[in-house]
Amino acid sequence: MSSPSHTPPRTGQLKPKTDWSSVVLAPVHFIMGLADRPLRLLQKRAGIGGMAAFFLAPNMLIFGVFVLLPIIINLIYSMTGGSALFLSERSFVGTDQYAKLFDCKSYLDPMSCQEDAFWTAVGNTFWFVVLQVTLLILFSLITALILNRELMARSFWRAVFFFPVLLSPVVVGLIWKWILQRQGLLNFALYPMGFEPYTWLSDRTFAFAAAVGVSIWAHMGFYTLILLAGLQAIPKDLYEAAEMDGTKPARIFWRITLPLLMPNLLVVVVLALIRAVQVFDEVFVLTGGGPGTSTLFLTQYIYETGFVSQPRNAGLAAAASILMGLVLVVLTLVQLGIGRKNENKGKR
């Protein structure tokens, strides 16, 4: 190992200053000195490839214990039955839990399924993802386009849109619950205009719309920020050239902005999709999954089945979470694919 190079001392200084960095780094150098010989020995024996494995091992160990192992345990749980918690006390049922989840006369009619709540949750999650992601991307894009213009107090407006992202999901849920409940702010505001108080969250259609709306409000700032960064990376001379050619603003958007923003947009879409499939916290606080099961989503179904229902059914909850995990794996692979594609484009 080569010794670290030192910058030569500056001339013209009245008093020589203590080199604090060398003082701070002294223990590091000492430890590295101690480790130098054993590491050289290890490299000699294990080779370059072995050294890579050696340095990756701590990370892989953490990943294995906290990510891989729980997934494997979850998979095993999904093949067991009974209400006991310990695997040793649970009976092996093979794929029964999956068969139970898929026991349906028609997948489009949840009521024809043995686990109707699961398929209701799947249907709700599907529509939530479609609506929430579409509207979220649309609003984020519009907001980013506006915030990218020369506005008065632009930084202030950027902060305003980003602020809900900083709130805890429970706080988001509670704020909107206070607004939408029968004695809430919305009815308070509408009453002087002659509207009778209405229990918005007891209305199945409105409750679903509220779940979508609140979720968009809470997360829009994050995606706006990513899109804003993408917009700012587009070279200004392209716009100047288009303007000189007399191109209409709509054409500029479709021909310059959107194509050049596409890599960011694709990342945002995939991230929003993954997040939407996992929807739980703010909606759980806002509607509790009701009215009936109209805002019951997959994550809540898994939580209720594994922890709330009497007796608890950890096996069924594990099977449902494995299926949900598979969907997320597909979405993550798409995201990775897009990332690599962008990387290759950048290299070219």
Partner 1 sequence: MALKSLFAASAFALLASTAHAGDVRIMWYSDGIEGEVFQDLVNRFMKENPGINVIVDNVAYSVIKEQLPVQLEAGNGPDIARVTAIKDLAKHWLDLRPLVADAKYWDENFGANADWMRPDGSNQISGFMTQLTLTGGFANKTLFEQANVPLPGPKATWDEWAAAAKKVAQSQQIPYPMAMDRSGHRITGPAISNGANYIGKDGKPAPLDAGAKGFLGKFVDWSKDGTMSKDVWVSAAGQSYRAAADDFINGQVAFYYAGSWQVPNFAKKIGTNFDWVATGSPCGPAACTGLPGGAALVAVKYTKNAKEVAKVMDYLARKDIVKEFSERTLFLPAHKGVIAEGVNFKTDSALVKEALNTFVNATKTTSDLANKMPGWRWSDTMYGAVVTRTAQAVAGEMSKEDAFTRIDSDVAEKVKASSL
Q: How far is the CB of 169 from partner 1 (least distance, A)?
A: 17
With CB under 8 A as the contact rule, the residue among 270, 296, 324, 331 that binds partner 1 is: 296
Give the Cα separation of 346 and 25 in Å (integer).
Answer: 37
Residue 133, number of CB atoms within 10 A of its CB: 23
Q: Choose the stretch contacting partner 1; rule: CB under 8 A; options: 145-153, 157-165, 255-263, 305-313.
A: 305-313
With CB under 8 A as the contact rule, the residue among 292, 332, 333, 337 that binds partner 1 is: 292
Q: How far is the CB of 191 from partner 1 (least distance, A)?
A: 13
Q: Work out whether 202 is an interface residue with partner 1 (CB under 8 A).
A: yes
Give the Cα separation of 70 and 76 in Å (integer).
Answer: 10
Site string for partner 1, 219-258 (x = CB under 8 A): ----------------------------------------
Q: Work out whether 74 is an interface residue with partner 1 (CB under 8 A).
A: no
Instruction: Check: CB of residue 248 under 8 Å from CB of residue 168.
Output: no
Element housing 46 (H / E): helix 20-63
With CB under 8 A as the contact rule, the residue among 300, 317, 320, 322 that binds partner 1 is: 300
Site string for partner 1, 148-187 (x = CB under 8 A): ----------------------------------xx----
Element housing 199 (H / E): none
Instruction: Check: CB of residue 273 under 8 Å from CB of residue 331.
Output: yes
Q: How far is the CB of 93 from partner 1 (least distance, A)?
A: 7
The single residue listed with the structure tokens 């030192």 is 6
With CB under 8 A as the contact rule, the residue among 247, 294, 335, 342 that binds partner 1 is: 294
Helices (H) and strands (E) in the chain, counts: 14, 2
The token pair at 158 is 């950027």
Give the Cα separation of 261 and 246 in Å (integer).
Answer: 22
Q: How far is the CB of 216 from partner 1 (least distance, A)?
A: 22
Q: Cβ closer to partner 1: 263 or 289?
A: 289
Q: Work out whether 342 is an interface residue with partner 1 (CB under 8 A).
A: no
With CB under 8 A as the contact rule, the residue among 201, 218, 268, 319 that binds partner 1 is: 201
Q: How far is the CB of 204 from partner 1 (least distance, A)?
A: 7
Q: Work out whether 309 is an interface residue with partner 1 (CB under 8 A).
A: yes
Instruction: Check: CB of residue 129 under 8 Å from CB of residue 211.
Output: no
Residue 106, by phi and psi: left (phi above 0), alpha (psi -120 to 50) or beta? beta
Collect all residues with Cβ–Cβ distance below 8 Å to 304 and sequence separation of at least 6: 117, 289
Q: Which of 132, 145, 159 is nearest to 271 (CA)?
A: 132
Interacting residue ranges for partner 1, rule: CB under 8 A = 81-86, 90-91, 93, 111, 114, 116-117, 182-183, 197, 199, 201-202, 204, 287-296, 300, 304, 307-313
